[in-house]
A and B are shown apart, each in its own frame.
Chain A
Amino acid sequence: PIQSVCVLSVGGAWRLGTDVRNTVGNIPMEWYQDYPHIGYDLDGKKIFKPIRNKDELDEFLDKMENPDYWRTVHDKTTASDIRLSDEQVDLVHRLQKGQFGDASFNEYEIHSCSSGPIVSKMVHAIKMGWIKPRKPKETTPQYYDLWAKEDPNAILGRHKMHVPAPKMRLPGHEESYNPPPEYLLTEEERLAWEQQDPEDRKLPFLPQKHSCLRAVPAFSRFIHERFERCLDLYLCPRQRKMRVNVNPEDLIPKLPKPKDLQPFPTTMSLVYRGHTSLVRSISASPTGQWLVSGSDDCTVRFWEVNTGRCLKTLEVGGAVKGVAWNPNPAVCLVAVCFESTVLLLNPALGDRLVVGATDQLITSYEPPEEDKEQAVTWALSEGPEHDKGHRLTLTHPKGVKQVVWHGKGDYLSSVMPDNTSNLQVLIHQVSKRRTQNPFRKNKGLVQCVSFHPLRPYFFVATQRCVRVYNLIKQELTKKLTANCKWISSMAIHPGGDNLICGSYDCRLAWFDLDLSTKPYKMLRHHKKALRGVAYHKHYPLFASGADDGSVIVCHGMVYNDLLQNPLIVPVKVLRGHQITHDLGVLDVTFHPTQPWVFSSGADATIRLFT
């Protein structure tokens, strides 16, 4: 301790004996580092440094051996050691104690104040207690019982809104200094971890294994992590989040068991093979004994439903877009459309009498007196074509996509999709060989049409909506907006008050016509575009076929009670069709009497599910 004091109080008192004095003044002595001398004495001569500086060892030896070591100080300016005399040591001691340097000075002696009124005023002030000596400041904080009086009324209202900061996440096994081996990362995982962005990493650190506690190093990011926590505490917005703790089983709606909703088709029982290209359309005869199918291989085939035998194959002049069996059991007629022709065939299947009556019906036509210009030309087939079954040929101006029969079997409608003209839908009357175009205006590309099963209504599905027209009043009754991009198919419930629409964006919309013009239910059961939908005539069933190759059969119960909404329960997913060229099922239709469903697919087969 002495040393430090002496260096500070480098005076001249003890230099008198030695008489070496540096004249460089109060400068950093490092400036003379590179010179052999460290300054100049009073005579202007250089003061040289000692040849050899003392090192630690010398210092130590000196300390041990020299009895005067404690009173020796080093003078930096002259680079010499000076031994202090007794007086000097005494002076240092006095100064250290805060006493006066002069031993003979008596500090308690009262000095006369000659320095004027200021001092006397201050003395007076001290006497009067106006000036108080400075109190030493408290550096250590004082603690007391802060919560001695917990007053619930003193709690601020805002405290109720306070969101306490979430606690730090507690460490898992992987953070252990000696974790189980499965928590260590493998080489690939480690590389992946290193390449990941630090924010994306699932673990913010690499798990490590140390054989003993001694080997555990300091965690290099410790201060970082604490700091990040601090930042989180004062910079992160806090929010109360309601975590829903739901049992996923509770989310599943409680539906009646499919078992209780039988009958519905469950298994694939028959495959009708014969077509060589995709089968666009199928239709069952009203008796349920026959099935007709039209395919892209330009043939129409007639099948016996129960055996799967192909009874007849008819070549037509183009890829068949649609077939429809006349729903009237007293008439045996099939409408087939290909290119711009609608062909009415008499397949000559079933009851002879019916077949005969049908031919009779066709031939009994008497042309009216005044011939009106019609949109299509009606031609009666004769000769070999008649033998093949062709009866009437309706040549349209444009390509026909779909044909549908009215429930009575006399009217027939054909669709020629065309975005530019009003000639898209035609209604033909077979008995009178008359054709009319019901629409004056083009309301968009017509996708499909359908007759109401009981009342004189006509449904026209355009790309995004379905329009319902009253044929007698000749006016629009309703416009149903299906919330989908592109309607592909449509079917009317036999009761007539409900309607389903399939769309290319995988949805099936169920409309309740009494309820609203918006869909009552949107079903997103299929994974791909729907191509065909159908209702069963008697059973509460409907089916939809889609490009994912599946046919989904749903129970769709419609109640007579107007207040009760229809009940829709999916009952079966039927698979079987293979997907070819990204197409799966193209058309579905129900058996008229049995709970069976037919589906035709792009794999050139027709399948019967019973």
Chain B
Amino acid sequence: MGGLQKKKYERGSATNYITRNKARKKLQLSLADFRRLCILKGIYPHEPKHKKKVNKGSTAPRTFYLLKDIRFLLHEPIVRKFREYKVFVRKLRKAYGKAEWTGVERLRDNKPGYKLDHIIKERYPTFVDALRDIDDALSMCFLFSTFARTGKCHVQTITLCRRLSVEWMNYIIASRSLKKVFLSIKGIYYQAEVLGQVITWLVPYQFAHDHPTDVDYRVMATFTEMYTTLLGFVNFRLYQTLNLVYPPKVSQSLSQPWVKHILNKLSALSASLARVVATAEEEENQMDQFPTEGDQENLEAREKEQKEQEAHKRLFEGLKFFLNREVPRESLAFILRCFGAEVSWDQSLCIGGTYDVTDESITHQIVDRPNMDKQYINRYYIQPQWVFDTVNAKMLLPVEDYFIGVTLPPHLSPFVEEKDGDYVPPEKLKLMALQRGEKPDDDDDDDDDEEEEEEEDDDDGDDDELTEERNLKKMENQRAQGKTLAVKVTPGKVRPWETGSVGNRVRLEQEEKAEEKRLAIMMMKKKEKYLYDKIMFGKKRTVREANKLTAKRKAHEDASKAEKKAKKQ
């Protein structure tokens, strides 16, 4: 005994965490400023392993931050700026109160501002880090760029977002790195591969937003502030990698002198960008031959993949598109140009259209209306889904399914990768067959039946036993009635699987295996059994879901067939 008494919660995990309120007090910031700081610096709360210990015995729900994180925030120069801003607001209010207008003006001129460059550099020490995290930044910028200038956020922010998103799209066009597109009910998903990073972003459809009231726009604005800075730097670097001028300039040949604003020109997405060093546009980047031994197959596979990718980039090359006014111009122009097509639209719709509807060399016209009055013979009139499906299929799909007024085939998500056991829609199977180069069958009867055969072998055995027992009972009853104690031996029935036919032997073997497995499962340890049960439960659930979808599909097809028949009669 002896020594100092150990106090509770003065060491261990209790000292590693700090509650939000305490952290706020330590930083001397208001809650709003603290939130802003956390967003900008990318600090998130932590869930302690022993919450009660950390909470000093209390079980009240609290948010905990790592004390190290908060200490790290203490050194942030922006914190000082926040405090300065607070003082500035106070001074300004005072000046207003005293009606010192010159003072107000002076204060406004010296409004403290801050830059986020160092934070971006600190959060994303390498360029690849920044690229990896750019999904959210893109989605946010694209959303903000669609906002109306009504005061939900600063107009400068909206224009900046618009500028950055247009720059991004132009980069994607210039680098031809778009891979997948998807029309969802939320908006349009795009997926590009930039410097080896897969980047997905979501763009809302072009409609006015009705702004919800339960959304804190300050939080969104803080995020956007950070994201715009990040995206600006990323764009700069990306333009640099392609030898493009930043801020982007439209190359002279295509620029229309009467359009003053460069942003408008860029957002038309029809002009190619100016380069720092004029180089040949098309650079054939041949894959280098490395002397590898034994890896021939691998190399070949890689070469093949490379070739496929190249082919995908040139998917629409040589085709000439015309967009009707009712289709979403920006997204379609973006996608088509990403794959090397020539695109134009009506002059009254937007600037940047290069040719007219009357141009005879147009191969495809994208239309989204039930019928067209005047049609040219030498071009296809197709619905916009064709473009999206074609990009995802990596091959030009037959246009017949997408003509005007035709019921469109379902639009599938390119992001789903089915593992074995998952449900695969029949359209996807057809598409895969098409990609392999097989001719599509006309009859739709080849629906693959994936119904799991429910094995109910066990019941058979039980049935046999049951019948046997019943027989025995009957015998016994008879005996009891007749009171004859004569012992009768009834000839036993030869069980079918005991005879040596092949099928039965196989079945017998399977049964034996199953029994063996069941017995082994009984001997599992508790922990492993739990895990095993969980895995098996998950597997069964996927099978159940797949079966449900198959059944639904079948019901739907039956219904539509019946309808067709009814129509015929």
Within 8 A of B (CB), among A160-190: 162, 164-165, 167-168, 170-173, 175-183, 186
Within 8 A of A (CB), among B173-232: 182-187, 189, 200, 202, 204-205, 207-212, 214-216, 219-220, 223, 228-229, 232
Contact among A177, A239, A271 with B184 in the assembled complex (CB-CB below 8 Å): A177
- A230 x B523 contact (CB < 8 A): no
Which of A139, A173, A179, A230 has the largest count of B CB atoms less than 10 A from its CB?
Answer: A173
Q: How far is the CA of A251 from the CA of B521 in the complex (A)?
A: 9
Contact among A155, A253, A257, A309 with B125 in the assembled complex (CB-CB below 8 Å): A155
- A180 x B223 contact (CB < 8 A): no
Shortest Cβ gap from A164 to chain B (Å): 6
- B236 x A251 contact (CB < 8 A): no
Shortest Cβ gap from A50 to chain B (Å): 35
| Residue B411 interfacial (CB < 8 Å) | yes
- A246 x B531 contact (CB < 8 A): yes
Within 8 A of B (CB), among A568-582: 568-573, 576
Q: How far is the CA of A273 from the CA of B556 in the complex (A)?
A: 57
- A139 x B156 contact (CB < 8 A): yes
What residue in chain A is nearest B247 (Cβ atoms)?
A143
- A226 x B183 contact (CB < 8 A): no
What residue in chain B is nearest A237 (Cβ atoms)?
B47
Q: How far is the CA of A252 from the CA of B425 in the complex (A)?
A: 34
- A576 x B465 contact (CB < 8 A): yes
When A and B form their complex, what is the total count of cross-chain residue pairs whose Cβ atoms lie within 8 Å?
261
- B520 x A255 contact (CB < 8 A): yes
Residues 124-146 of chain B: 1 if any A CB is under 8 Å from the residue's CB, otherwise 0?
01110010110110011001000
| Residue B369 interfacial (CB < 8 Å) | yes
- B531 x A244 contact (CB < 8 A): yes
Shortest Cβ gap from A530 to chain B (Å): 14
| Residue A248 interfacial (CB < 8 Å) | yes
Contact among A145, A237, A569 with B237 in the assembled complex (CB-CB below 8 Å): A145
- B135 x A178 contact (CB < 8 A): no
Residues 411-430 of chain B: 1 if any A CB is under 8 Å from the residue's CB, otherwise 0?
11101100000000111000
**Which residues on A sit within 8 Å (CB–CB) of B407?**
211
| Residue B26 interfacial (CB < 8 Å) | no
- A176 x B185 contact (CB < 8 A): yes
| Residue A231 interfacial (CB < 8 Å) | yes
- B520 x A213 contact (CB < 8 A): no
- B209 x A223 contact (CB < 8 A): yes
Q: How far is the CA of A346 from the CA of B176 in the complex (A)?
A: 100
What residue in chain A is nearest B198 (Cβ atoms)?
A167
Shortest Cβ gap from A228 to chain B (Å): 9
| Residue A220 interfacial (CB < 8 Å) | yes
Contact among B140, B237, B328, B526 with A146 in the assembled complex (CB-CB below 8 Å): B237
Binds A, one of B83-91, B114-122, B279-287, B309-317: B114-122
**Which residues on B sit within 8 Å (CB–CB) of A229?**
136, 139
**Which residues on B sit within 8 Å (CB–CB) of A218?**
204-205, 207-209
**Which residues on B sit within 8 Å (CB–CB) of A236?**
44-45
What residue in chain A is nearest B404 (Cβ atoms)?
A212
Instruction: Say which size band chain A's interface belongs to.
Output: 35 or more
Q: How far is the CA of A177 from the CA of B384 in the complex (A)?
A: 12
- B72 x A158 contact (CB < 8 A): yes
Shortest Cβ gap from A311 to chain B (Å): 12
- B117 x A175 contact (CB < 8 A): no
Shortest Cβ gap from B42 to chain A (Å): 8
**Which residues on A sit within 8 Å (CB–CB) of B61?**
none
Contact among B236, B328, B408 with A143 in the assembled complex (CB-CB below 8 Å): B236
- B425 x A182 contact (CB < 8 A): yes
Q: How far is the CA of A231 from the CA of B216 in the complex (A)?
A: 10
| Residue B356 interfacial (CB < 8 Å) | no
Residues 180-221 of chain A: 1 if any B CB is under 8 Å from the residue's CB, otherwise 0?
111100100000000000000000010110111110111110
Given contacts A145-B236, A237-B46, A248-B535, contact A167 B135 (CB under 8 A): yes
| Residue B552 interfacial (CB < 8 Å) | yes
Q: How far is the CA of A220 from the CA of B219 in the complex (A)?
A: 20
**Which residues on B sit within 8 Å (CB–CB) of A139?**
156
| Residue A35 interfacial (CB < 8 Å) | no
- A233 x B223 contact (CB < 8 A): yes
| Residue A473 interfacial (CB < 8 Å) | no
| Residue B326 interfacial (CB < 8 Å) | yes
| Residue A234 interfacial (CB < 8 Å) | yes
Contact among A140, A213, A572 with B327 in the assembled complex (CB-CB below 8 Å): A213
Given contacts A167-B135, A252-B532, A525-B522, contact A213 B126 (CB under 8 A): no
Given contacts A175-B413, A234-B38, A239-B47, contact A222 B233 (CB under 8 A): no
| Residue A150 interfacial (CB < 8 Å) | yes
Q: How far is the CA of A227 from the CA of B218 in the complex (A)?
A: 10
Contact among A141, A172, A230, A254 with B415 in the assembled complex (CB-CB below 8 Å): A172
- B187 x A176 contact (CB < 8 A): no
- A175 x B184 contact (CB < 8 A): yes
| Residue B80 interfacial (CB < 8 Å) | no
**Which residues on B sit within 8 Å (CB–CB) of A248?**
532, 535-536, 539
Which of B47, B127, B143, B411 has the largest count of A CB atoms less than 10 A from its CB?
Answer: B411
**Which residues on B sit within 8 Å (CB–CB) of A251?**
524, 528, 531-532, 535
Shortest Cβ gap from B19 to chain A (Å): 13
Q: How far is the CA of A481 from the CA of B124 in the complex (A)?
A: 59
| Residue A159 interfacial (CB < 8 Å) | yes
| Residue A235 interfacial (CB < 8 Å) | yes
| Residue B354 interfacial (CB < 8 Å) | no
- A253 x B523 contact (CB < 8 A): yes
Shortest Cβ gap from B128 to chain A (Å): 9
Q: How far is the CA of A213 from the CA of B389 in the complex (A)?
A: 13
Contact among B185, B209, B212, B549 with A175 in the assembled complex (CB-CB below 8 Å): B185
Given contacts A159-B125, A172-B415, contact A213 B384 (CB under 8 A): yes
Given contacts A217-B207, A233-B136, A237-B45, contact A171 B184 (CB under 8 A): yes
**Which residues on A sit within 8 Å (CB–CB) of B69?**
158
Contact among B45, B220, B383 with A230 in the assembled complex (CB-CB below 8 Å): B220
- A147 x B44 contact (CB < 8 A): no
Q: How far is the CA of A223 from the CA of B204 in the complex (A)?
A: 10
Shortest Cβ gap from B416 to chain A (Å): 5
Shortest Cβ gap from B488 to chain A (Å): 12
Contact among A173, A186, A268, A571 with B425 in the assembled complex (CB-CB below 8 Å): A173
| Residue B561 interfacial (CB < 8 Å) | no
Q: How far is the CA of A572 from the CA of B512 in the complex (A)?
A: 11
- B516 x A257 contact (CB < 8 A): yes
| Residue A156 interfacial (CB < 8 Å) | yes
Shortest Cβ gap from A272 to chain B (Å): 12
Residues 60-80 of chain B: 1 if any A CB is under 8 Å from the residue's CB, otherwise 0?
000110001100100000000
**Which residues on A sit within 8 Å (CB–CB) of B139?**
168, 226, 229
What residue in chain B is nearest A151 (Cβ atoms)?
B125
What residue in chain A is nearest B200 (Cβ atoms)?
A170
- B44 x A252 contact (CB < 8 A): no
Q: How far is the CA of A33 from the CA of B254 in the complex (A)?
A: 56
Shortest Cβ gap from B154 to chain A (Å): 11
| Residue A224 interfacial (CB < 8 Å) | yes
| Residue A225 interfacial (CB < 8 Å) | yes
Within 8 A of A (CB), among B480-538: 487, 512, 515-524, 526, 528, 531-532, 535-536
Residues 497-537 of chain A: 1 if any B CB is under 8 Å from the residue's CB, otherwise 0?
00000000000000000000000000111000000000000
| Residue A93 interfacial (CB < 8 Å) | no
Selected A-B contacts with CB under 8 Å, 27 pairs:
A137-B109, A143-B246, A164-B132, A165-B133, A165-B136, A168-B136, A170-B415, A173-B412, A175-B413, A176-B182, A177-B185, A179-B410, A180-B410, A181-B552, A208-B185, A211-B408, A216-B183, A218-B208, A219-B185, A219-B187, A222-B143, A223-B215, A224-B214, A226-B143, A233-B136, A234-B219, A248-B535
- Given contacts A180-B426, A180-B553, 18 further A-B pairs with CB under 8 A are A137-B109, A141-B228, A146-B117, A158-B72, A167-B200, A172-B415, A176-B184, A205-B185, A214-B369, A219-B187, A219-B205, A230-B39, A234-B44, A235-B63, A237-B44, A254-B520, A259-B512, A571-B519
The 8 tightest CB contacts between A and B, nearest first, are A218-B207, A170-B415, A237-B47, A182-B553, A182-B552, A180-B410, A147-B127, A219-B186
